[in-house]
Amino acid sequence: MAGGAKVLLVVVLIAMVANVFRKTESAVTCQLVVSSLTPCASFLIKGGQVPKACCNGVKSLYKDADTVADRQTACRCMEQAALMLPGINIDHAGDLPGKCDVYIPYEISPVFNCSSYCSYTH
């Protein structure tokens, strides 16, 4: 998989997760996104069992991003994080929401657009 495709894959995954989150008290930051999704790295690359900490992070992020601005911020943070995590498998990224019992209204794709997909309302 080419470097650009890997970046898009990670962005899509992160956007997917961030896109369906609901905010609790604070705005979403890149630090929150990275810390929430770091436990998912091994699954995104190798597949297999999704670590419980990964699903906990996905669900936590879901609760934190309840505005369009927060979802778009999370998506952009994931784009940046994707540059640092090569080897992401798009199929594993697409499987993650279902494995963590999180519903998203779109398919994970390497041509994901944070502005378009993160603008829906809950």
Please write the tens of the pLDDT for every residue from 68-115.
888 888 877 877 776 677 788 878 888 888 999 988 766 666 667 777
Domains parsed from the chain with CATH numbers: 3-103+111-117 (1.10.110.10)
Tens digits of per-residue pLDDT, 27-79?
789 899 889 989 999 998 999 999 999 999 999 988 888 888 888 888 778 77
How far apart are alpha carbons 69 and 47 in whole angstroms? 31
d(CA 78, CA 66): 17
pTM here? Answer: 0.70
